[in-house]
Amino acid sequence: MSALRFNHMELTLPMGTLARDRDAIVSFYAEVFGFDAIDVPLFDSSGLLLRTDPETSQFLLLMEQEVHLQSPGYDHLGFLFETREEVDEKLALCKQWQQKDERLGIKEYDDLVISPTVTHAFYVHYLLPIWFDIQVIEYDAGSEPQKSWQFR
């Protein structure tokens, strides 16, 4: 049986959001997370697709709708990195952005220790209707999962 993988998430935004905030969205998600942005025609409309790779195997699709996502809590999508240093680098970049744009929200967390793992993470929220959980999961020696993602 093949493994389930993340492919995409569509986020609906209020009408006019992309006209107003497109450049800021593209700049932030490209600079901090490496997303490439392309405009896509879809169902008699146009959206903004933020992709992680040229094959568009993982992406966020941003579409404007009259009825759009509203998430006042900490609903989030997790981005998993391989090292603590990468998470700390992303946090530093987010803090730099926050100095330029107060609309960027950051929630820092103490490490979550649930033996045999330590999760090192923070949340970031910028111009989209959900938070992103930026994390690394570190495993005690010998407790690593039997299966892991490999990127070629």
Report pLDDT digits (tens) over 68-115: 999 999 999 999 999 999 999 999 999 999 999 999 999 999 999 999
Q: Is residue 121, in this structure, part of any structural domain at all?
A: yes
Instruction: Flag whether pLDDT at 138 surpasses 90.
Output: yes
The residue type at 39? D
Report pLDDT digits (tens) over 22-69: 999 999 999 999 999 999 998 888 999 999 999 999 999 999 999 999
Does residue 77 sit in the same domain as residue 131?
yes
Does residue 105 sit in the same domain as residue 48?
no
Does residue 135 sit in the same domain as residue 77?
yes
What's the structural domain count of the chain? 2
pTM assigned to the model:
0.93
Instruction: Flag whether pLDDT at 2 surpasses 80.
Output: no
Q: Is residue 149, in this structure, part of any structural domain at all?
A: no
Q: Is residue 152, in this structure, part of any structural domain at all?
A: no
Note the helical H segments in the chain. 17-33, 84-100
- CA distances to 93, 114, 119, 120 from 140, rounded to whole Å, are 28, 10, 11, 14
Instruction: Flag whether pLDDT at 148 surpasses 90.
Output: no
Residue 122 contacts residue 107 (beta carbons within 8 Å): yes
Q: pLDDT confidence of 151, banded at 50, 70, 90?
A: low
Does residue 55 sit in the same domain as residue 82?
no
Does residue 60 sit in the same domain as residue 14?
yes
Residue 65 contacts residue 3 (beta carbons within 8 Å): no
Q: Looking at residue 147, what is its pLDDT?
A: 79
Does residue 40 sit in the same domain as residue 87?
no
Q: Looking at residue 152, what is its pLDDT?
A: 61
Does residue 15 sit in the same domain as residue 60?
yes
Q: Looking at residue 3, what is its pLDDT?
A: 74
For 4, the domain range is 1-65
Show which of 65, 93, 109 is a domain's final residue: 65
Q: Is residue 151, in this structure, part of any structural domain at all?
A: no
Q: What are phi and psi of 89, to 5 degrees?
A: -65, -40
Does residue 10 sit in the same domain as residue 26?
yes
Report pLDDT digits (tens) over 120-135: 999 999 999 999 999 9
Q: Is residue 148, in this structure, part of any structural domain at all?
A: no
Does residue 13 sit in the same domain as residue 50?
yes
